[in-house]
Amino acid sequence: MQLTNKRKHMARKPMTFLERIYLPAIVKGMGITLSHLFKKKATIQYPEQKRPMSEVFRGLHILKRDDQGAERCTACGLCALACPAEAITMTAAERKPQDKHLYREEKYAEVYEINMLRCIFCGLCEEACPKAAIFLQNDKMAPASYEREDFIFGKDRLVEPFLLKKS
């Protein structure tokens, strides 16, 4: 069965004299490399210049707040259940009356941790969440680090910054 018309029939013929002295092939090859000298370079000068990321790129997680600035997550654990890499752990707690402005639901996540070394950035947590609380950002990636501990992201690094929401 032929899937593409790229197939080329190769026969093993003895090399001709011109092929055996290599020179024509060498000259041709040098011509090719020389032409590349003047081609556009593919390099992206990273820190100054960034490659545009896809709209749907799945990068670092963020725990969203609602319009009033309260955390949306209700610690239902569905994201942890959905996670194929078992990267998410959390401890639930009951909301105190005076914390009403901080958490939207009556139950909230006291501890919420994602292990970025385990995470495969599949985005299933985002899809599982009934409260639209967790999202994978398309402009941020989990940064590199020397310590394993640094890859366990707690709420301090996951929850959307408060001030940003206000402005």
Binding mask 77-96 for ligand SF4 (x = CB under 6 A): xxx--xxxx-xx-x------
Among 18, 19, 24, 29, binds other proteins (CB under 8 A): 29
Q: Of these partners, other proteins, ligand SF4, none, which one is at the site of residue 70 (CB under 5 to 8 Å by kind)?
A: none
Number of H helices, E strands in the chain: 6, 5
Q: Select 19 or 99, whichever has its Cβ closest to ligand SF4.
A: 99
d(CA 71, CA 133): 8
- 68 burial (CB, 10 Å; 0-12 / 13-18 / 19+) is exposed
d(CA 92, CA 106): 10
Q: Of these partners, other proteins, ligand SF4, none, which one is at the site of residue 18 (CB under 5 to 8 Å by kind)?
A: none
Q: Select 39 or 166, whichever has its Cβ closest to other proteins.
A: 39
Q: Select 18 or 30, whichever has its Cβ closest to other proteins.
A: 30
Long-range contact pairs involving 93-97 (C-beta distance under 8 Å, separation at least 24):
none
Query: Restricting to residues 21-80, which ones interact with ligand SF4 according to CB under 6 A?
Result: 73-79
Among 122, 141, 152, 158, binds ligand SF4 (CB under 6 A): 122
Give the Cα-Cα-Cα angle 82, 83, 85 (nearest 5 degrees). 150
Contacting range for other proteins; rule: CB under 8 A; set: 2-10, 39-47, 64-72, 73-81: 39-47
Could you give the 3-state DSSP secondary structure of residue 10?
A: coil
Give the Cα-Cα-Cα angle 123, 110, 104 (nearest 5 degrees). 75
Q: Select 50 or 135, whichever has its Cβ closest to ligand SF4.
A: 135
Q: Closest separation between CB of residue 117 and ligand SF4, Å?
A: 11
Q: Give the Cβ contact number of residue 119 at 10 Å.
A: 22
Could you list the residues that contact ligand SF4 (CB under 6 A)? 73-79, 82-85, 87-88, 90, 114, 119-125, 128-129, 131, 133-134
